[in-house]
């Protein structure tokens, strides 16, 4: 068969932080080649699938991925060579069975995912389909009138936490442009981003950027970031709340002290209980058009997540990232406990495209919104842009309006919008 997999090759490459990651290419019998590269997170949840590193301190400070590369070339390649590339679910299942562990620590989620995504790209090329169309077809996904919708971008224009040397505690302060067309959402985001840069410069703050391309200014408090963004929206000629809404990812597991059961917010010089965190969010939601909070509480603070959802869930999109880790078991637990109302989808948290799709379908079946996300260590790979369109995700999260590895995803969405038009 001309669509069988003939050759698989993985090699080491560098991500946006200059750390090694893995790239995989799949060659089909008819000469079609599909390739994909794998991102890497900094604030990783403890329940994520394992990203396999070499741990050799003499090479790339222990961050090399030659073990993962060998696992693709020597262990995965023999079991999928000769398989029909269109049998995506079967291929992903074979790799999961070969690894045989819950968190994919034998082969590495990065190794498995590289192959999974490369197969999808090869299949799409073989079918002469754009990737978003192929994903919908290969998983037999059906949405109202089979329409495609473009996601609303959640743009991280102010970086903090581990993404920006703890300039502030909140890892991401985001704007969510509300225009009808994606190209106008992108224009709005760009104009607000540059307006914010001008304001920071005028006030004497640094305009250097963090891992995800947002400004990394060391502000006096976390709320000051929200105030500055509100001012930037107005300066750019937009109306807060109508034209642009706000979101945030506190990534609260990063400043949660498990021993004391407290959240230590250094920028505010505060130590808060979960109840104190919820009250803080409620206060901000009253003062600002804050409509989305991701990881508002720690990844295993289930009981307080229930409280957060009860008091804010009707008016606010409460996104589970470290909480759900794109995992159907953790998501099912959240659904049963009435925790959160949106799923952050990071394909490298779970390790195969199939498992990510299964998590998306479970979330959508229970009315949870979908936000397809990048990682802080990214590549030029644009798979997540197509994935977001394939599943009609409400949102996409791929960073700020600078750094080419972020803009590549936005630019791919511009192309898709043109195609669909």
> Residue 37 in 3-state DSSP?
strand
Catalytic residue among 346, 369, 397, 409, which? 346
Query: How far is Cα 66 from Cα 133, in angstroms, rounded to an integer?
Result: 33
CA angle 53, 22, 36 (to 5 degrees): 150
Q: Could you tell me which of 214, 209, 215, 232 has the C-alpha nearest to residue 397?
A: 214
- DSSP state letter for 73: I
For residues 229 and 157, the answer to whether their CB atoms sit within 8 Å is yes
Tokens representing 161 are 């936490």
Catalytic residue among 172, 191, 212, 394, which? 212
Q: Are strands 155-159 and 172-177 parallel, antiparallel or unpaired?
A: antiparallel
Tokens representing 196 are 């914010």
Query: How far is Cα 196 from Cα 314, in angstroms, rounded to an integer?
Result: 30
Determine whether 212 is an active site residue.
yes
- DSSP state letter for 75: I
Q: Which residues fall within 8 angstroms of residue 405, CB to CB, at 6 or more apart? A: 15, 16, 378, 379, 380, 399
> Residue 106 in 3-state DSSP?
coil
> Residue 211 in 3-state DSSP?
coil
- To which residue do tokens 């197509």 refer? 386
Determine whether 220 is an active site residue.
no
For residues 249 and 294, the answer to whether their CB atoms sit within 8 Å is yes
For residues 33 and 118, the answer to whether their CB atoms sit within 8 Å is no
Catalytic residue numbers?
Answer: 212, 346
């Amino acid at each position: 068969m001309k669509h069988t997999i003939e050759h698989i090759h993985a090699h080491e490459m560098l991500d946006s932080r200059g750390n090694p990651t893995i790239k995989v290419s799949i060659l089909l019998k008819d000469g079609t080649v599909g390739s994909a590269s794998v991102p890497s997170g900094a604030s990783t949840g403890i329940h994520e699938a394992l990203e396999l590193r070499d741990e050799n301190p003499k090479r790339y400070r222990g961050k090399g991925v030659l073990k993962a590369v060998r696992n693709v070339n020597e262990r995965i390649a023999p079991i999928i060579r000769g398989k029909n590339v269109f049998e995506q679910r079967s291929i992903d299942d074979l790799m999961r069975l070969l690894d045989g562990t819950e968190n994919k620590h034998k082969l590495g989620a990065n190794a498995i995912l590289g192959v999974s995504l490369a197969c999808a790209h090869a299949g799409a090329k073989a079918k002469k389909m754009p990737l978003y169309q192929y994903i919908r077809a290969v998983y037999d996904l059906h949405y109202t009138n089979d329409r495609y919708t473009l996601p609303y971008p959640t743009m991280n224009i102010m970086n903090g936490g581990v993404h920006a040397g703890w300039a502030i505690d909140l890892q991401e302060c985001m704007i969510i442009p509300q225009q009808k067309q994606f190209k106008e959402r992108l224009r709005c985001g760009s104009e607000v981003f540059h307006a914010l840069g001008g304001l920071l410069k005028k006030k004497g703050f640094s305009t250097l950027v963090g891992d995800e391309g947002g400004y990394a200014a060391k502000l006096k408090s976390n709320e000051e970031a929200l105030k500055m963004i509100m001012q930037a929206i107005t300066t750019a000629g937009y109306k807060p709340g109508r034209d642009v809404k706000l979101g945030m990812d506190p990534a609260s597991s990063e400043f949660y002290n498990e021993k004391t059961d407290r959240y230590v917010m250094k920028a505010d010089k505060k130590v808060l209980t979960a109840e104190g965190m919820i009250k803080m969010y409620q206060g901000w939601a009253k003062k600002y058009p804050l409509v989305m909070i991701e990881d508002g509480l720690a990844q295993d603070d289930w009981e307080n997540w229930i409280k957060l959802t009860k008091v804010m869930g009707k008016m606010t999109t409460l996104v589970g990232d470290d909480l759900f880790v794109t995992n159907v078991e953790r998501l099912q637990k959240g659904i049963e406990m009435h925790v959160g109302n949106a799923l952050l989808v990071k394909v490298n948290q779970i390790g195969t495209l199939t498992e990510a799709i299964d998590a998306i379908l479970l979330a959508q079946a229970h009315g949870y919104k979908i936000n397809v996300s990048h990682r802080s260590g990214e590549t030029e790979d644009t798979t997540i842009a197509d994935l977001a369109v394939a599943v009609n995700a409400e949102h996409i999260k791929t960073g700020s309006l600078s750094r080419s590895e972020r803009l590549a995803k936005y630019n791919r969405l511009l192309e898709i919008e043109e195609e669909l038009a």
